[in-house]
Amino acid sequence: MAESLLEVKDLVKYYPLTQGVLFRKQVGAVKAVDGVSFRLRAGETLGIVGESGCGKSTVARMLVNLERPTAGSITYKGEDISRLSGRALKAVRRNIQMVFQDPYTSLNPRMTVGDIIGEPYEIHPEVAPKGDRRRRVQELLDVVGLNPEYINRYPHQFSGGQRQRIGIARGLALQPEIIVADEPVSALDVSVQAQVVNLLEKLQDEFGLSYVFIAHDLSIVRHISDRVGVMYLGRIVEIGTDAEIYEHPTHPYTQALLSAVPVPDPQARAHRERIILSGDVPSPAAPPSGCRFRTRCWKAQERCTTEVPLLAVPEVFTSGPAAHPSACHFAAEKRVVPHMPPQEGGRPVGKDTD
């Protein structure tokens, strides 16, 4: 495997909780991200999954420098980019671009598609001189499967899937190396989701891109990812290759999430054990002591209350697919999804027709 392009270490983001109108006083903090570490290798896709509010978008925003971490580092090609400013920050930003979740709100309705896609060139004119921009934008439209003649149209003249293609074209304008895609297909109809995922895969091959792909839909993540990290309440609880996570999960939370994934084959579905979690996700302003998952974990014991489980390969597994990092004191393999080749396990992958 190629070496790391991006290395995230002990990333933390706390949002202050304040009280009072005139004299605002900090009374606590929302611990949105609380010690996240992972690597992204050149050309790979790292999927990040987890329930709503677990901190996925906060990680994404820090990766593209829309927000500064409270602590921790983001190393890109050997340099910590989380504290950069000015020209150095601008140069790095060019290489790490974001595709947003909602193609309805992320595109300015008063701008033409040409202006939307070409806007990044205003900040980075060195990538495309003024006289060449229109041609570049038309090329980008073609690359994402849209008619280059649509350059003067407005976002409302496109379908949801087409708007997301526009968002992707904009993300590609500066020829980045890394794309952070935050739930890029969640707002789209199921029938269109596969087309956009296919497009992202095609672009990855064509331009050698690396992706951080965020979603709460485990089927979609499996389809596109080489490795997958599972988040719970601001932390990664398990990380590994897609086969390790989907077929040999060792963390109870991953097992519970997987047990809820739709299984297309009725026979396999009948043999699948559904794990229903009790209780709600605790507030990130007051996470439980020890293991954050303990208030919902059916395996929790005394030790889980006092000792934070580290994300590391559990000692009980010395080799094989279960030997991947899992933050559980009592990690144990449990297959919850019947074995299926990834193509069939994910959503059906249709032709690009939208």
% helix, strand, coil for the chain, step of 5:
35, 20, 45
Return the number of the residue (55 or 176) whose C-beta is nearest ligand SF4. Answer: 55
Choice from 9, 299, 334, 335 touching ligand SF4 (CB under 6 A): 299
Judged by DSSP in three states, 275 sits in coil
Return the number of the residue (45 or 254) whose C-beta is nearest ligand SF4. Answer: 254
Return the number of the residue (180 or 328) whose C-beta is nearest Mg ion. Answer: 180
Integer Cα distance of 32 and 44 in angstroms: 26
Is there binding between residue 293 and ligand SF4 (CB under 6 A)? Answer: yes
Is there binding between residue 252 and ligand SF4 (CB under 6 A)? Answer: yes
Return the number of the residue (32 or 128) whose C-beta is nearest ligand ATP. Answer: 32
Q: Are 6 and 26 in contact (CB under 8 A)?
A: no
Integer Cα distance of 237 and 327 in angstroms: 5
Is there binding between residue 57 and Mg ion (CB under 5 A)? Answer: yes
Residue 49 has phi, psi (to 5 degrees) of -125, 160
Which of 91, 45, 61 has its CA nearest to residue 229? 45
Residue 184 has phi, psi (to 5 degrees) of -70, -15
Is there binding between residue 300 and ligand SF4 (CB under 6 A)? Answer: yes
Is there binding between residue 258 and ligand SF4 (CB under 6 A)? Answer: no
Return the number of the residue (54 or 180) whose C-beta is nearest ligand ATP. Answer: 54
Q: What is the CA radius of gyration of the chain?
A: 21
Q: Rule CB under 6 A: which residues touch ligand ATP? A: 15, 30, 32, 50, 52-58, 216, 284
- Residues interacting with ligand SF4, by CB under 6 A? 252, 291, 293-294, 297, 299-300, 304, 309, 328-330
Contact residues toward Mg ion (CB under 5 A) are: 56-57
